Structure 1
Amino acid sequence: MQSVGTKTLLAVACIVGIAGSGCTSASGPRGAAIIDAATTTVSASADSESRKFVLLDVSVRTDSGLPDASFSSFQKSFGAAAQQTRVPNVPFGRGDVVQLTIFENAGGGGGGLFVPEASAAGRPGNFVQLPQQTVDAAGDIRVPYAGTVRIAGRNAESVQREIEDKLKDRAVEPQVFITLVTQRASEVSVLGEVNQAGRFAVSQAGERIVDMISRAGGIKNQGYESFVTLQRGGRSVRVPFDRLVKAPEENVFVRPGDTVYVSREVRAYTILGATGTQSRVIFPAERLALAEALGAGGGLADARAHPGYVYLYRGEPRSLLEHLGADLSRFDPSQHVIPTIYKANLAEPTGLFAARRFEVRDKDVIYIADSESAELLKVLQIVGAVTGPIAQGTSSVYNARRANDF
């Protein structure tokens, strides 16, 4: 006669065999069934580029001294013109309305070209103010006795000197002043996620990017979700809005014809594995450290997670990995972005320090591996779920038999 223990083991074997045979219910086709039913299977070879990656410890990255997040720069992208600290000159342009005032030295009473002799003594000043005129499509204005003068793209000082040179042989010591009445050409467009998009004239006092955004009513969204694109001279450069505030050198002067576009980008990372929640987590700030990202994702599950096996997946530039000492000889030389896995060992005393310095980026994937004990616990839970009812039934039979013996 078989013992109770033997019967229990046979029952477990039968149940496990039934579960493995696919007789139990499932939410869909099992993985093995899909693989077996495939007409043709194409798999990447072991040496395929898609299977290659670099494994780095996060401390290697944080100890390198290189910045964790690289952003474009207005200051560096637009050269010396963007790096200037003084207010740029705002030139005249087509469509601007200007007015000329011409002074003459008619103090001797003899009059001058613009101040007749008969009226020179009775005038409050020896000057004449010409009618306002609009800079034409060619960028010109017309000045009596001086002819056509090209002023588009020039500042007031150079225009005044040219007109004075053209009048000096006819007028008496002429002095010319040109005034901008209405500015139409020297404008900047501010578009996108602002409260009052439009075109705004650039004042002679000079205005920076944040000034123009302020004139457009400010940004609609949080600063860490907003990005600013500056289009100038056929180039576009995009930086985070918060960087304009935290790095004043990036808040460069705008120039006529610039386009400032504010966009919203919700950055997020994905956290998977033995964590409190497996989900896509939105960045709560412009910069986010790995330790903060783990906390925002629910932290490590105490009963499952192995604190020594925390991984972060991303693509890194080839030049960066070479700088960090990675051997890339087995990768295709034309591959500029290399699949990279960073490993954080939070079981070490210094692991959290490295995790606090390592920055998470948009679209990163964080994976927390299960511990070996968690795998064993899963097996024991399955066995316990199967053997528990059998053991309970066997115990009931045994107790009944003992009761009959008395």
Structure 2
Amino acid sequence: MKLSKKVLVTAVASVMLAGCSMPGSHISLDGKHVVDVANSSHDTLDQHVNVFPLTVNNITQFREAPVSPESNPKLDKALAAYEYHIGPGDILNITIWDHPELTIPAGSYRSAKEAGNWVHADGTIFYPYIGKVKVAGKTVTQVRSDIAQRLSEYIEKPQVDVNVAAFRSKKVYITGEVKSAGQQEITNVPLTLLDAINHAGGISNNADWRHVTLTRNGKDETVSLYALIQRGDLTQNRLLRNDDIIHIPNNDAQKVFVFGEVRDPKLLKIDRAGMSLTEALSSVGGINELQADATGIFVIRANNIDSSQKPYSPIVNIYQLNIKDATALVIGTEFQLYSNDVVYVTAAPIARWNRIIGQLLPTIDGINKLSETGNNLRTW
């Protein structure tokens, strides 16, 4: 009788200890300097968390806005009005008809680039009779008119033709996940964002084509190649200018974390087509039917709102899906995951209780064996 009471007391104590501390890794704070953050005692995490149940009635407000084909009149207008402006480093070919002495022939041993007029760093070229001609910042039409006007003092009604033999003054840079990264020249043919990527051989399989960065004059703009190429949204296209930088990032940062009561917890990469909640669950083998709480499928997402503002702004949004009725997985197909989302499947109450009991049983069994040993010794 006394032994049974001891076992009972030990079991109760073990249950109480289990409620205070679960097995696993542990870092003790004893003796360490704990920094006291100002006003932290008045702030709790609960005040910064919003929970949104995902239902048939509200899933539309969490669904990404569909991307549809759209024209780009602004770009069309810019392309129609486009003219190349000459700059230092360009090479010009200038022809004066009926005056071969003023035209340097290319010949069989010299290309048009070698025989042309180099635009110097000060933006000028030298031409017979008229000397220095300012050409930088002008179009070939303007240079043609200027040379013809100045030559008219020496030649009657000169017929002048000017064209650019080599475009070297203006360029853009393509970096990141393309097949041929590097610089591309801007020529008399307008260069768009889509053209530049095609000239670079297209994007690689590891490209994050939803977050392409266009840097112009130190300012970044995010462009979606997914919307442009896959959905035909031409408003994402841009007419490129000198020194523009296009960066196509890789998709290493496009990841979600799935763990909890699933068959194969793992880190998943979001592919080009995106990833829905249902896709993420199927990629890890689905939920553990014997252990999971089907009402507790959670997506935990960090919020960029400043939490220092009052009243408290949420720093975490939690979206809850109840798949007790398996048809609710259709709702999950409409919920798109974002980079660094955490998908967590909670354990059922009975599973959590069984785990506590499973931790206690070895202790109780050990106490029983010690008690039996003690009784045997007293009997002996």
TM-score range, shorter chain: 0.7 to 0.9
In structure 1, the residue corresponding to 2:61 is in which secondary structure? coil
Does residue 1:301 correspond to 2:288, yes or no? yes
Please give the per-residue CA displacement for 1:110-141, whole angstroms capped at 9, x wherever unaligned: xxxx58xxxxxxxxxxx952562100112122
Q: 1:87–1:206: 8 Å Cα contact kept in structure 2?
A: no
Which residues in structure 2 correspond to 1:274-289 (within 5 Å)? 274-289=261-276
Residue pair 2:174, 2:247 contacting (<8 A) in 1 also: yes
Paired position in structure 1 for 2:185:
201
Q: Secondary structure at the match of 1:369?
A: strand
Find out whether 1:256 has 2:234 as its counterpart: no
Query: In structure 2, what is the Cα distance between the partners aligned to 1:301 and 1:344?
Result: 15
Distance 1:68 1:342 in 2: 18
Equivalent-residue separation in structure 1 for 2:119 and 2:282 (angstroms):
62
Structure 2 contact 259–265 (Cα < 8 Å) conserved: yes
1:102 aligns with 2:102: no
Residue 56 of structure 1 is aligned with which of 48, 52, 56?
52
Aligned-partner residue type, residue 103 of structure 2 = Q
Query: Pick from 193, 204, 222: which aligns with 2:206?
Result: 222
- Structure 1 CA distance, aligned partners of 2:221 and 2:36? 42
Aligned equivalent of 1:369, options 321, 332, 346: 346
Per mean C-alpha deviation after superposition, the further-off stretch among 203-212 and 382-391 is 382-391
Map of 1:82-161 to 2, 5 A cutoff? Answer: 84=78, 86=80, 88-103=82-97, 114=99, 129-130=103-104, 132-161=116-145
1:305 Cα deviation after fit? 1.6
Distance 1:49 1:20, change over 3 A: closer
Letter in 1 for 2:339: D
In the TM superposition, residue 222 of structure 1 has moved relative to its aligned partner by: 2.5
Alpha-carbon distance in 2 for matches of 1:9, 1:382: 20
Deviation of residue 215 (structure 1)? 3.5
**Structure 2 residue aligned with 1:118:** none
Deviates more, 1:155-164 or 1:59-68: 59-68
TM-score, L = length of structure 1? 0.68
State whether residues 195 and 218 of structure 1, in contact with CA within 8 Å, keep that contact through their aligned partners in structure 2.
yes
TM value normalised by structure 2: 0.72
Residue 258 of structure 2, aligned match among 264, 268, 271: 271
Alpha carbons of structure 1 residues 362 and 98: separation in structure 2 relative to 1, 3 Å: same
Structure 1 position 366, deviation (Å): 1.6
> Given residue 90 of structure 2, which amino acid in structure 1 is its aligned partner?
D
In the other structure, the counterpart of 1:323 is none
8 Å Cα contact 2:257/2:268 also seen in 1: yes
In 1: Cα distance, 2:300 partner to 2:275 partner: 15
Query: In the alignment, residue 228 of structure 1 is paired with which amino acid?
Result: V
The answer for unaligned runs of 5 or more in structure 2 is: 105-114, 369-380
Counterparts in 2 of 1:197 and 1:342: CA distance versus 1, 3 Å: same
Q: Which moved more, 1:35-44 or 1:291-300?
A: 35-44
8 Å contact kept, 2:92–2:165: yes
Q: Which residue, out of 174, 178, 184, partners 2:162?
A: 178
Which sections of structure 1, spanning at least 5 residues, go unmatched? 105-113, 116-126, 319-327, 392-406
Aligned amino acid, residue 64 of structure 1? Q
Contact 2:251 2:270 in 1 (8 A): no
What secondary structure is seen at the aligned counterpart in 2 of 1:276? coil
Percent identity between the two aligned chains: 20
Q: How many residues align?
A: 348
